[in-house]
Homo-oligomer: A and B are copies of this chain.
Amino acid sequence: MLIGELAEQTGLSIKTLRYYEQVGVIDVAERTPGGYRTYDQTVLERLRFVRAAQAVGLTLREIREIVAFRERGQSPCAHVHRVLENHTAEVDRRIRELRQLRSELTALADRATALDPADCSPSTICHIISAK
């Protein structure tokens, strides 16, 4: 299978497939005598894994590391568990930050309805935001 067909089957772009090879989330492809990349069916499984891992927020770098365990003949289970824990903690942290930000935005909006635009002094640019 050439790269164009693989792209069509997976819905990924040719650029993306070459990029995946470059960053190491899929194996370096075999080449035809003319230099064309060729793929067998096993790459499809790999790409499904990459997609699943990206869907839960893993970066290509993290995915490459997980894949590397397999390439070394090791089970990535423990490593994956740690990575997922870190990601969960990170997501929690981001959610807390955004909630905080959200409440600040709401406070600003409330103030915006309470304040009179006439009080808005040019030097502070905007009383909604800069009033402390």
Residues of A that sit less than 8 Å from B by CB = 42, 45-46, 48-49, 52-53, 55-58, 66-67, 70, 75-77, 80-81, 84-85, 87-88, 91-92, 94-95, 98-99, 101-102, 104-106, 108-109, 112, 117, 120, 122-130, 132
Q: Determine if B80 and A129 form an interchain contact, defined as CB atoms under 8 angstroms apart.
A: yes
Within 8 Å CB of A101, what residues of B?
56-57, 91
Please tell me if the beta carbons of A75 and B120 are within 8 angstroms of each other in the complex. yes
Assess whether A120 is in contact with B77, with CB atoms less than 8 Å apart. yes
Which of chain B's residues have a CB closer than 8 A to the CB of A53?
126, 129-130
Q: Out of B48, B91, B106, B126, which one reaches A98, CB within 8 Å?
A: B91
Contact: A77 with B126, CB < 8 Å?
A: yes
Which residues does chain B contribute within 8 Å of A81, judged by CB atoms?
A: 109, 112, 128
Q: Which residues of B contact A128 (CB under 8 A)?
A: 77, 80-81, 84
Known: A75-B120, A98-B94, A99-B95. A105 touches B125 (CB 8 A): no
List 25 interface pairs A-B (beta carbons < 8 Å), by A numbering: A45-B124, A48-B130, A49-B126, A49-B129, A52-B130, A53-B126, A53-B129, A56-B105, A56-B129, A67-B125, A70-B122, A75-B120, A76-B125, A77-B126, A80-B126, A84-B105, A84-B109, A84-B112, A85-B109, A88-B102, A88-B109, A91-B101, A91-B102, A94-B98, A95-B95
